[in-house]
Structure 1
Amino acid sequence: MRQLAAEAMQAWLAGEHERAERLARAALATQPNDPNALQVLGVACLRNDRVAEAVQHLRAAHDMTRDNPLVLNTLGVALRRAGDVSGARRAYARAGKLGSADAWRNLGSLERSENELDAAMAAFEKALALQPESPAAHAGLAQLYELRHDLERAREHAERALRLDPKNELALLALGQVLLRERDWMGVEALLTPLGRDAKATPVNRAIAIGLVGEALDRAGRVDAAFEAFTAANMLQRQLHAAALDAVESPFHPATVARLTRFLDREDVGAWTHPKSDRQPAPVFLVGFPRSGTTLLDQILSSHSGVVCLEEKEILAPIVADLLSDEVLLTWRALPESTIRARRRLYWQRAETAARTPLGARVLVDKLPLNLVLLPAIARLFPDAKIIVALRDPRDAVLSAYQQRFGMNAAMAQMLELQSAARYYDAAMTLWVRCREKLPLRFHEVRYERVVDDLEGAARGLTTFLGLDFEPAMLEFAATARRRDITTPSARQVIEPLYTRSVGRWRAYAPHLKPVLPVLAHWAARFGYPP
């Protein structure tokens, strides 16, 4: 029977995956603990997206072999795909300590996805200590150094990766970002256009490459070519993320936004009762349509000694998601105090974990732009919360959202097409206006254009609203941004001095925006923007 397990391993290595799985199952029928058969079956299940079964078999293989780095590394892959980040982290680290450079690289990738950039750098460095000529490790470091604004080291590692592997996609993208920040528009186009056209490249990286070319073309003033690039990148993204478009159960899906708007239209908010606040000060929520300046406001506020900002952590949404169906919304007036208190406690627990620092008496600012559409739930749990609403010319906001490559969810998927982005803007702003009219929350609007024109005035307005004294450090927000690991598309802009080139950008793209201008012009007029 051990011969069957050996044959299964040989078949797998030869690319005969279905035969390998059959042989592995046959071997395990008589030898349930054969580690080789368990490993083959675990990898086969992983390949066929049977992740839970893969974890089961790979754990069993690990139990039989204990310190086999290949099994541990593969178990780490399975655990990560199963959503067990802590388990994957342990498996990768153990495999790495046993000499697996692949495991250190996988750990670096995991840590980067978790925004643990120091840990990611350390893992990639350990991979290089084992394999100094690893293009993947050099590419990983290139991306991290670029995120940390160390362009010299980013270029060094990217170029080294490309000498070892001229088609390394991550190295190409990292070098493209460096060239973009160095204002080498033609260099970006020359470097990344082939990657965007490479049918063998991963669709995600192709979309990123095409989007970066679009940014370079935009900055070079080649508007028509830029719009064509952004549209091509978004078409690829739509194919990849079709499921997000249909995720009607998401708190951020257009269907949820419409449901909450209908609910507020008919609800007597004055009939709500609220238990006394468990702690003070209440959280502050920084919201707005994507690309309306929330990341800039985050950096300004984070420069204040009395403020702790959470950067785009989905803390609130999972806590209130089950309260947003039509059936449950009908029960909001009678929502038990115990339910409200329990969810408040859970919110604070998760917020303090995400903050990674004791809050003390400091003001917590929860910055997640699309919590804008969860304002009714915020009012139900935290009626004394303060809301900072970032506003920007609707035409600039929607255009900029169309041009970005966001992490994908049910809301961000709407930005991949102009018409759906404009519809989402219309729905979100309609809900916000209802919230402003009916909810007991305190609102403070901050316009992106005013921040650019009068930073100190905007900063003083924020501190007055929050009951804090103004601090001059708020005007040095770029220095704060350089010290933080920012994961939003604005990360590279907020380390620069304020600029006005993003104000009124939509005018250059007006012919391309023509189908959605009527909807957006309505909101522009309502907010007082010029036609």
Structure 2
Amino acid sequence: MMQHAQEPELTMEIGNTVAPGRNAPSQAALRAALDAAAAQVETRPDLALAAANEALRAVPGLPPALFVGAQALRRLGRPTEACARLALIPGGLRRPAMVLWEHAQAASAAGRSDEAITVLEALTEAQPGVASGWLLLASELRKAGREEDAWRADLSAVHASSRDPDLLAAATDINDGKLDEAEAKLAARAARLPDDPVGTRMQGEVKWRRGDMTEALRLLERAVALAPGFDLARDFLVRLLMQVNRLPDALVHAEMLAKSPVAGAAADLILSSVLVRLGDQERARTIYERMLAAQPEQPLLWQNLGHVLKTLGEQGGAIEAYRTAVTQQPALGEAWWSLANLKTVKLEAGDIAQMETALAGLEAEAGRDEDVFHLHFSLGKAYEDAGDVARSFEHYDKGNRLRRSLVGYDPDLLAAEAGAAAATFTSAFIAEMGEGGCPAEDPIFIVGLPRSGSTLVEQILSSHSAIEGTMELSEMMVIAARLQSRIDEGEFADFAAMVRSLGPVERLRLGEEYIERTRVHRKTDRRRFTDKMPNNWQHVGLIRLILPNAKIVDARRHPMSCCFSGWKQHFARGQTFTYDLTEIGRYYRDYVRLMAHYDAAAPGAVHRVIYERMVADQEAETRALLAYLGLPFEESCLEFHRNTRAVRTASSEQVRQPIYTDAVEHWKAFAPWLGPLEAALGDVATCYPEVPAELLA
């Protein structure tokens, strides 16, 4: 029997309901016998039934005996007989709550949903604060095809549980950060009420706060299985699934959430977020446009619509959406930055004045850091376009300093991890590991730094008839992080030991996992696809182990140009190394060191595209790139700017134009302020595109 927050109480007196026969036992004896029988219902229902029958022979129609007998019959797998007995208890739908509860469970077990629903509707009307009645009612309504009514019943169950003192106490502990206390309270409650969806969801939240995402997801999935109409739990589940990049699963739950009879704008927004992550920009656009048609005074929605239109290449519509957003909310920093970040748009003097006014108003407010740093980046771009380099750098610098204070990044840790990878993936180690991994030739990894020309390379490749351009995929990083966690948790002493443990079977499984997890991003039948996550340079060795036939393209740009461009670019997420000139210089140097190591350990495994050479002679560089991939040259690759595919990166507008050389040495205008970057790069900058001898050692 399912147990939930509480069960209805039963008060049934033996009294003089039925006149006893001449030789009937006393009321006290009957009460004692039936109390003993009731105590045996769960453990020995056969004995409980025998005692109830004995009481009924002594006092035919005795309600407590009918009730105990019905309880025993249901537990013996005879629910139809249980229903018959319960029907003999007088009072109909006004019988005591426990009788109605038992009748509902018996009718449910007998497959008599209509009867169960009738009884449960009476029970929940009489005791609306008892979650168990609502949950069973929801289950029976679903069996009857009454989905909307079932959803509302689930919501009523959640509402009933929200007043449970045990759950309120646990919620207080969670909010106060007392996770041990909350976990203990919830565990004790789960032992008593294992099928309570609200308690289960709260257990999932505790696990999530502890960083145990696997267990958090399991508990959230169980909570929505117990109560499919538990919208808050499903919303939480969708967000967690997005965090771990289980996007197809997130879509299933987001679409279900959007069907809720009480679904509001929040359900539409989370669905559109999943669709954007999956690359279904058109469907997300439809949702935003529908919502704005109903309520046009929604600056955040206009901003989101602008993001989608930008990705789809509809620059005019994106500009209009962003400008509508800042008109409605002048201090909306992200919308201003999104407008400035359309590299082909120049903000005018009027825009600068509006942003300066908004910034002056924000800097005195607490909790508006995100708007503040977005406005600084936007003003940096606006003054740069206006030719005021000093004021441009001032705003870029302020934006970066504020953003850096809000993110966690350890350059020493990155350097150590890159060093560990270099020390592990020697030519001898690669030979020792031998063959293995998934033989699929589908992926083309484009690695390097952001703003290195990688989007240009991707756009050229995706213009080939055999290659589908996807986006920056996080699947390889998810796999790498999971493997790293095995070291962090003490399973392996170091990186080399962990990698060495990957035998042929596990390498095959990991490679197949990557192929399967990325399948959702593939919208065509082209046999090859790009993964343009730049940070995958850190995982080239792992890629070679688990996907030995995958191709790896290293997009490289002059370090001063690349790093400065990355530093003045605010990224929506990730790339936490870009907000300090010294740190981004160190990052570039660590990248060059590791890639040089791979070049020596596995010559020819990685193909390098030098941005300045691609700009100078696109055809020659494109032919060499396609030759590395084993593909014939196609003229369409030279006309990449005609490609209408969706592009989500900062270069989305630039790659819709023919190659231009304006940005190659743009950094030199800011040279007086770039000393920290130049010092961090050292001879990597002066030797470019060659690698300094020190890094080759």
The corresponding residue for 1:13 is none
1:235 paired to 2:434: no
Give the C-alpha shift of residue 222 in structure 1. Answer: 2.0
Contact 1:376 1:439 in 2 (8 A): no
Distance 1:454 1:304 in 2: 18
Q: Work out the CA distance in 1 between the residues paired with 2:437 and 2:198.
A: 54
Residue 327 of structure 1 aligns with which residue? 494
Secondary structure of residue in 1 paired with 2:397: helix
| Structure 2 CA distance for aligned equivalents of residues 390 and 186 of structure 1 | 36
Residue in structure 1 matched with residue 182 of structure 2 by the alignment: none
Match of 1:515, SS state, is helix
Structure 1 residues 53 and 514, CA gap change in structure 2 (3 angstroms): closer
Q: Does 1:346 align with 2:507?
A: no
Match of 1:144 among 308, 333, 338: 308
Cα deviation code 1:336-362 (max 9, x no counterpart)? 2222222222232234333233444xx
Structure 1 residues 285 and 185: CA distance shift in structure 2, 3 A: same
| Superposition pairs of residues 392-407 of structure 1, within 5 angstroms | 392-407=557-572
For residues 62 and 133 of structure 1, what CA distance do their matches in structure 2 show? 37
Counting only pairs closer than 5 Å after superposition, residues 220-299 of structure 1 correspond to structure 2 as 220-242=386-408, 244-245=409-410, 253-264=414-425, 268-269=428-429, 271-275=431-435, 279=439, 281=441, 283-299=443-459
Structure scoring higher RCO (CA < 8 A, sep ≥ 6) equals: 1
Distance change in 2, residues 1:466/1:219 (3 Å): same
CA distance in 2, matches of 1:389, 1:299: 15
Instruction: Return the alpha-carbon distance in structure 1 between the equivalents of residues 270 and 530 of structure 2.
Output: 33
Q: TM-score, normalised by structure 1?
A: 0.78
Q: Tell whether the 8 Å contact from 2:436 to 2:508 is kept in structure 1 after alignment.
A: no
* Contact 1:38 1:57 (8 Å CA) reproduced: no
Deviation at 1:257, TM superposition (A): 0.8
Structure 1 stretches of 5 or more lacking a match? 10-16
Aligned 1:124-523 pairs, distance under 5 A: 124-161=288-325, 164-168=328-332, 171-176=335-340, 181-197=344-360, 198=362, 199=365, 202-242=368-408, 244-245=409-410, 253-264=414-425, 268-269=428-429, 271-275=431-435, 279=439, 281=441, 283-321=443-481, 322=483, 327-330=494-497, 332=499, 335-360=502-527, 363-409=528-574, 412-480=575-643, 483-523=644-684
CA 448–80 in structure 1, closer or farther in 2 if over 3 Å, else same: same
Query: How far did 1:519 drift?
Result: 4.4
1:471–1:128 Cα change, 3 Å = same
C-alpha spacing 1:158/1:446, structure 2 compared with 1 (3 Å): closer
Question: CA deviation digits over 1:389-437, x for unaligned, max 9?
Answer: 222111111111111122444xx22221111111111111111111111
d(CA) in 1 for partners of 2:611, 2:511: 31
For the structure 1 residues 93 and 268, does the alpha-carbon distance in structure 2 shift closer, same or farther, using more than 3 Å as the test?
A: closer
TM-score normalised per structure 2: 0.61
Residues 112, 437 of structure 1: CA spacing in aligned structure 2 closer, same or farther, 3 A cutoff? Answer: same
Identity of aligned residues (%): 25
CA 1:140–1:502 in 2, change beyond 3 Å: closer, same or farther? same
Stretch of structure 1 that moved more, 397-406 or 308-317: 308-317
Structure 1 stretch 208-217 or stretch 94-103: which is displaced more? 94-103
- Equivalent residues in 2 for 1:13-162 (5 A)? 72=231, 75-77=234-236, 79-81=238-240, 83=243, 89=251, 93-94=255-256, 96-97=258-259, 98=261, 100-161=264-325
Q: Please tell me whether Structure 1 or Structure 2 has the larger radius of gyration of its CA atoms.
A: 2
**Alpha carbons of 1:319 and 1:114: their partners in 2 closer, same or farther (altered >3 Å)?**
same
Q: 2: distance between equivalents of 1:473 and 1:152?
A: 25
SS of equivalent residue, structure 2 residue 445: strand
What letter corresponds to residue 231 of structure 2 in structure 1?
Answer: L
**2:235 is matched by which residue type in structure 1?**
G
Give yes or no for contact 1:54–1:78 (8 Å, CA) kept in 2.
yes
- What's the offset of the Cα at 1:207? 2.3
d(CA) in 2 for partners of 1:102, 1:385: 40
Give the superposition deviation at 1:214: 1.3
Counterpart of 2:284 in 1: which secondary structure? helix
Residues matched between the structures, number: 502
Q: Contact between 1:169 and 1:205, CA under 8 Å: does it hold in 2?
A: yes
Q: Secondary structure at the match of 2:626?
A: helix
How large is the RMSD of aligned CA atoms in angstroms? 4.5
Matched residues in 2 for 1:271 and 1:227: separation? 49
Distance 1:195 1:55, change over 3 A: farther
CA distance, structure 1, for counterparts of residue 578 and residue 410 of structure 2: 10
Contact 2:389 2:670 in 1 (8 A): yes
Q: Structure 1 residues 221, 89: closer, same or farther in 2, change over 3 A?
A: same
Measure, in 1, the Cα distance between the counterparts of 2:449 and 2:293.
Answer: 44
Post-superposition shift, 1:520?
A: 2.7
Structure 1 position 124, deviation (Å): 1.6
Q: 1:89 to 1:204 in 2, by over 3 A?
A: farther
Contact 1:176 1:188 in 2 (8 A): no
SS at match of 1:390: strand
Distance 1:229 1:269, change over 3 A: same
Q: Supply the distance in 1 between the matched residues of 2:314 and 2:512 (Cα, whole angstroms).
A: 40
Paired residue secondary structure (2:515): helix
Alignment-mate amino acid for residue 336 of structure 1: G
SS at match of 2:609: strand
Residues 201-221 of structure 1: CA deviation (Å, up to 9, x unaligned): 643343223212212222222
Output the CA distance in 2 between the equivalents of 1:120 and 1:158. 16
Question: Is the 1:146–1:177 contact (alpha carbons within 8 Å) kept by the matching residues of 2?
Answer: no
Question: By how many angstroms is 1:105 displaced?
Answer: 3.2
- Please tell me the residue identity of whatever aligns with 2:513: L
- Deviation at 1:449? 0.8
Distance in 1, matches of 2:440 and 2:221, equals: 48
Report which stretch shifted further, 85-94 or 111-120: 85-94
Structure 2 regions of 5+ residues with no counterpart?
1-126, 131-158, 164-170, 177-184, 691-697
C-alpha separation between the residues in 1 aligned to 2:220 and 2:447?
45
1:143–1:171 Cα contact (<8 Å) kept: no
SS at structure 2 position matched to 1:389: strand
Offset, 1:451: 1.2
Letter in 2 for 1:146: K
In the alignment, the residues of structure 2 paired with residue 351 and residue 110 of structure 1 have an alpha-carbon distance, to the nearest angstrom, of 15
Distance in structure 2 (CA, Å) of the matches to 1:53 and 1:457 = 52
What amino acid does structure 1 have at the position aligned with 2:637? M
